[in-house]
Amino acid sequence: MRWDAQRLGLDEPTALPGMPSIRGLLRSVQVPEFPGLTFHEVRAKSALNHVPGESAMPFPYTINPYRGCSHSCRYCFARKTHEWLELDAGRDFDTQVVVKTNLVDVLRRELARPSWTREHVALGTNTDPYQRAEGRYKLMPGVIRALADSGTPFSILTKGTLLRRDIPLLAEAAQAVPVGLGVSMAIWDDELHAGLEPGVPSPRARLDLVKTLADAGLACGVFLAPVLPGLTDGTAHLDAALAAIAAAGATGVTVIPLHLRPGAREWFMAWLSRKHPGLVPRYEQLYARRAYVPAEYRIWLSQRVAPLLAKHGLDRQKGGAARQIATGVPGEEEVGFPEGSLPTGGMPGARPSSDHPPAAWCPQPEEAEQLSLI
């Protein structure tokens, strides 16, 4: 990612010296309501990121209001993107958050271009748009309004219960454009949750959000992700989680095992070595060759999950068709997104086709903004 150099002509007691490694930096701010976090406010050159054509993701564009994430999930594979800002993928990713302060204005200009074809735009694919920074900067209401006003379908994936604030706005937007909503959760054990996702609202709080969305008439799919081998893949754990998801009124569920890319791998394995050293050899074997679990584990997990989905009525789609049991990574050909998480009419696991010719103007892929879903 690169920004034009800008200067902020506004003094504030909480402003810190700027970071020369971040171009376009206006100021760096620490505020009492978010202890331990530093927000690096920047002016972005673009808002829409074009997903490479060879990607299997079912959306052609993304928006990422923030870089870094205070959720501090030790398994988050967006961590390595922070290294492009000359920050580390561990503690800095959790505490040094880049905020695109002019995002809404830039987005409105891009959506107003005659060449914009109103294709699906996804939020929450890299870092969470409803992390703590959103409580201060309030970028999402403007993003939602801009997309709805332009007639652009969109989806949001989050672990943040701050989305509750925008439910009336989302309900209004859903009257104008197709909207998809997804909530990610997997850890049902409070102690494990506190150790692996210290900045994330509890699983119960996230399921309360799903219920609130359902009560508001908004479909919401749940990503039961990531499932952690030897920690959260037991029958009792999966049964409790799926029962709660069904009770919350989720419209669909996708089960995804942990994947460990560079950046996340080192951070997660360091935690595992401290807290569960006996599992280290198993993880080294499972992830010896690639970031994803081998096919044998996926098959085993699928066989374990299938009867539980049936038990809780989560194995049927609308109309009674059998639901796909997805135990891979969303975006892979055989893996679907949970019903409700994509805009109405989208086909899980496949990018929507477009009848429009290639646009004369196309947002460029934002440097180092790789796609992440959990």
pLDDT tens-place string over residues 215-270: 999 999 999 999 999 999 999 999 999 999 999 999 999 999 998 988 899 999 99
Percent of the chain's residues with pLDDT above 90: 67
In a domain, 355, yes or no: no
In a domain, 371, yes or no: no
The residues that bridge with 96 in the sheet, in sequence order, are 38
Percent of the chain's residues with pLDDT above 70: 79
In a domain, 208, yes or no: yes
pLDDT at 1 over 70: no
Tell me the pLDDT of the chain averaged across its residues: 83
- Quick: pLDDT tens for 290-327: 999 999 999 999 999 999 999 999 986 554 544 444 54
In a domain, 98, yes or no: yes
**pLDDT confidence of residue 3:** 32
**pLDDT confidence of residue 316:** 63
Question: Residue 203 in contact with residue 224, Cβ under 8 Å?
Answer: no
Instruction: Please confirm whether the linkage preceding 153 is cis (ω < 30° from 0).
Output: no
pLDDT at 369 over 80: no
Mean pLDDT of 99-109: 97
Q: What span, in angstroms and rounded, lies between the C-alpha atoms of 11 and 32?
A: 17
Mean pLDDT of 197-224: 96
In a domain, 204, yes or no: yes
In a domain, 349, yes or no: no
**pLDDT confidence of residue 97:** 95
Question: Residue 183 in contact with residue 223, Cβ under 8 Å?
Answer: yes
pLDDT at 13 over 80: no
Mean pLDDT of 10-28: 57
CATH code, domain carrying 290 = 3.20.20.70
Helix, strand, coil distribution of the chain in percent, nearest 5: 35, 15, 50
Mean pLDDT of 8-32: 61
Instruction: Give how many domains the chain has, as a whole number.
Output: 1
- Quick: pLDDT tens for 24-81: 688 999 999 999 999 999 999 999 999 887 667 788 999 999 999 999 999 998 898 8
In a domain, 143, yes or no: yes
Q: Given pLDDT bands bounded at 50, 70 and 90, which one contains residue 103?
A: very high
Position 1, amino acid: M
In a domain, 58, yes or no: yes
Containing structural domain, residue 98: 17-320
Mean pLDDT of 143-164: 97
- Quick: pLDDT tens for 177-200: 999 999 999 888 889 999 999 999
Q: What span, in angstroms and rounded, lies between the C-alpha atoms of 20 and 45?
A: 17
Mean pLDDT of 127-138: 96
Q: For tokens 């050293």, name the residue.
A: 277
